Amino acid sequence: MQVTIIGIGLIGGSMALALKDKGIVTKIFAVDQNPAHGQLALELGIADEVADLDSALAQSDLVVLSIPVDAAAKLLPEIMSKVSSQVVFDVSSTKKVICDTALHCENAGRFVASHPMWGTEFHGPQAAQKGAFAHKAAVICHKERSDADAVAMVEKIYLALGMHLLYMDAAAHDVHAAYISHISHVSSFALANTVLEKEKEDDKIFEMASGGFESSVRLAKSNAAMWVPIFIQNKENLLDVLNEHISQLRKFKSCLEKENYTYLAELIENANTIKRILK
């Protein structure tokens, strides 16, 4: 099977490595608007050839759309107008906009909306990792809108990569993603800005930062070009979770102001129950 990966960065590059590792593909075409990314993907052995979109699509059985969510929704109609039997799936972190877009595309049944739930704070082909998706969830949205054979191919690929499958509609996905992923990034960006604003001595941050701080702000190193479009597309859900998050922060603030340490302990102990889910 020959595969086109549009956007050969962290996710696209890691997908390429995984497909190669599992022996699923015979050749990978990289399509990327950044020539340096394409060249680096060749040097790192992630891609076998850099090609333009039309040439790559004509030679491929499978197309992976792995670019920022706003760009993915804009490019999808062009891609779908140029495929026939090929299967196209995306890996976008929000689903409603691209699923709504797909409804009005030619050959819409060849598109499968998906989201492999994995990522890091790094970007570019150099950030690609082997074995990235193993033991993670892959969400497939609105499978009923896609051709059965297209869904079956995407399911087979994710299962071969060691992922487990979840099915939901796009709106439900975006709500859940706001709570388990997007708010974590907002919180990390905000915490990093708080520390950078209040702690003017960079060397002290470096010297005193412990594992807890590092893990809390790790996501603050994430790429704005990726995350601003995600926040925009999932704005309403993200505002809802931000309001709840701010409410929780106010509870902690009030406990300290009023020296209500009993309730402070209760808040922490209640938070500890997340251990039932995340072990």
Write down the pLDDT at residue 215. Answer: 82
Q: What is the pLDDT of residue 124?
A: 96
SS3 state of residue 41: helix
What stretches of the chain adopt beta strand conformation (E)? 2-6, 27-31, 49-50, 62-65, 87-90, 111-116, 137-141, 164-168
Structure letter (DSSP) for residue 181: I
Phi/psi at 73 (nearest 5 deg)?
-65, -35
The token pair at 91 is 């890996």
pLDDT at 210: 67
Angle at 213 between CA 222 and CA 119, to 5 degrees: 30
**Over the range 236-264, which residues count as b (16 or more CB within 10 Å of their CB) and which as e?**
ebbeebbeebeeeeeeeeebeeeeeeeeb
> What residue segments make up the domains of the chain, in order of their start?
2-168, 173-276
The confidence score (pLDDT) of residue 21 equals 96
pTM as predicted: 0.92
Nearest Cα residue to 147 out of 92, 108, 104:
108
Question: 2-168: which CATH number, 3.90.650.10, 3.40.50.720, 1.10.8.60, 3.40.50.300?
Answer: 3.40.50.720
pLDDT in tens, the chain (279 residues): 999 999 999 999 999 999 999 999 999 999 999 999 999 999 999 999 999 999 999 999 999 999 999 999 999 999 999 999 999 999 999 999 999 999 999 999 999 999 999 999 999 999 999 999 999 999 999 999 999 999 999 999 999 999 999 999 999 999 999 999 999 999 999 999 988 887 777 676 667 766 677 888 899 999 999 999 999 999 999 999 999 999 999 999 999 999 999 999 999 999 999 988 776
Structure tokens at 231: 């926040």
Given 1.10.3660.10, 2.60.40.10, 1.10.10.10, 3.40.50.2300, which CATH number is that of 173-276?
Answer: 1.10.3660.10
Residue 36's region, left for phi above 0, alpha for psi from -120 to 50, else beta, is alpha
pLDDT for position 212:
74
